[in-house]
Amino acid sequence: MNIFSWKEFIDKKPLVGVPCAITVGVFDGIHKGHMEILRQVLSQGRGVHSVVFTFRTNPATYFGGNYKGDIYTVDQKLSALDALGTDAVVLIDFSVDFVKLSGKQFFSIIGASLVLKKIAVGYDFKCGCGNDTTTVDILSMYAGSDVEVQVVPEYSYSGVPVKSTMIRTFIQVGELNILSSIMEFGYSIDISGHRGSMLRSDAKQVLPPAGSYRIKLYDRGKYRNASITADETAVGWEFI
């Protein structure tokens, strides 16, 4: 899987002339609803590249507010997209300049840097400065063109729409068993780069409540039985 920054994508145009099916989104946690969208760009067949435009940092952190944290780190998200067979990912830095782009400008830049064959987005997709572009606008934008626009309907679990906000809540209240039913790869805490305990104040991932949990920890090429203990200030782990 090739990984490009938004700047590299615009300046160097590594996909120019390449027929592509694309999707745009945060894709935090890769839940079953995300998978319905991703399948649309992953199933185009030989000759059409699957390209995911996503964010290095969740845009929610840019706007502040009561953001609870990421479900996946960027490394976990990239690993999941790679495992699915994605051809390329464009990582967008949600900067002051980027936030000024209208949705029409955003898709115009994309169209100038690759051969756009298909766009797949969720039913509630919005983008652009002030969320000025919705699925209705995208359908109108490409009506009568050779670009197919696929709007993927809502995916529900037990009658409730599956969203990343729902998963964050389940993690925070300790309802971890349900996650395997609504997530493609499940939930895991990324401890790469950490030794000993990981301070909660430094953790960018949303974490479960205080308590002890049995886990599988990936270490040196294999999974080992381990336990993780969370309290008010830190998360610690050990092999058992």
224: amino acid identity, one letter: R
Q: Is residue 24 part of a domain?
A: yes
Q: Give the pair of three-digit tokens for residue 94.
A: 């949600």
**Pair (123, 239) in one structural domain:** no
Q: Is residue 210 part of a domain?
A: yes
At 119 the pLDDT is 98
Task: For residue 238, count CB atoms less than 10 angstroms from its CB and return exposed for 0-12, middle for 13-18, buried for 19 or more.
Answer: exposed
Give Cβ neighbours of residue 162 (< 8 Å, ≥ 6 apart).
Answer: 31, 32, 33, 155, 156, 182
Q: Do residues 117 and 11 share a domain?
A: yes
Mean pLDDT within 93-98: 86
- Is 202 found in the same domain as 127? no
* 181 inside domain: no
- 103/200 same-domain check: no
Q: Tell whether 113 and 40 lie within a shared domain.
A: yes
Q: What is the pLDDT of residues 9-51, one digit of tens each?
A: 999 999 999 999 999 999 999 999 999 999 999 988 789 999 9
| Lowest-confidence pick of 109-123, 180-194, 209-223 | 209-223
The whole-model pTM stands at 0.92
Same domain, 127 and 9: yes
pLDDT band for position 195 (cuts 50, 70, 90): low
Q: Looking at the predicted structure, is the pLDDT value of residue 138 above 80?
A: yes
Q: Please give the distance of CA 200 from its chain centroid, rounded to a whole number.
A: 22
Q: Is residue 106 part of a domain?
A: yes
- Residue 62 maps to a domain: yes
- Domain-located, residue 203: yes
Nearest-CA neighbor of 138 among 150, 129, 154, 130?
150
Mean pLDDT of the chain: 90
Tell me which of 141, 156, 171 is where a domain ends.
156
Please tell me the total count of domains within the chain: 2
Q: Are residues 193 and 151 in the same domain?
A: no
193 band by pLDDT with thresholds 50, 70 and 90: confident
pLDDT of 4 > 80? The answer is yes
Do 87 and 151 lie in one domain? The reply is yes
> Does 196 have pLDDT greater than 80?
no
Same domain membership, residue 124 and residue 56: yes
In a domain, 121, yes or no: yes
pLDDT in tens, 40-80: 999 887 899 999 999 998 888 877 667 888 999 999 999 99
Note the pLDDT tens digit of each residue in 178-189: 999 999 999 888
| Residue finishing a domain among 156, 175, 197 | 156
Cα separation, 38 vs 80, in Å, equals 11
How far apart are the C-alpha atoms of 236 and 185, rounded to whole Å? 23
Give the CATH number, domain containing residue 141. Answer: 3.40.50.620
Identify any residues that bridge with 136 across adjacent strands, giving them in sequence order.
none
The yes-or-no verdict on residue 130 having pLDDT over 80 is yes
- Can you list the positions of beta strands (E) in 128-233? 133-134, 148-152, 156-157, 160-161, 198-199, 211-219, 222-230
Check whether 216 has a pLDDT greater than 80: no
The answer to whether residue 171 sits within a structural domain is: no
Q: Which domain holds residue 24?
A: 2-156
Residues 95 and 137 in one domain: yes
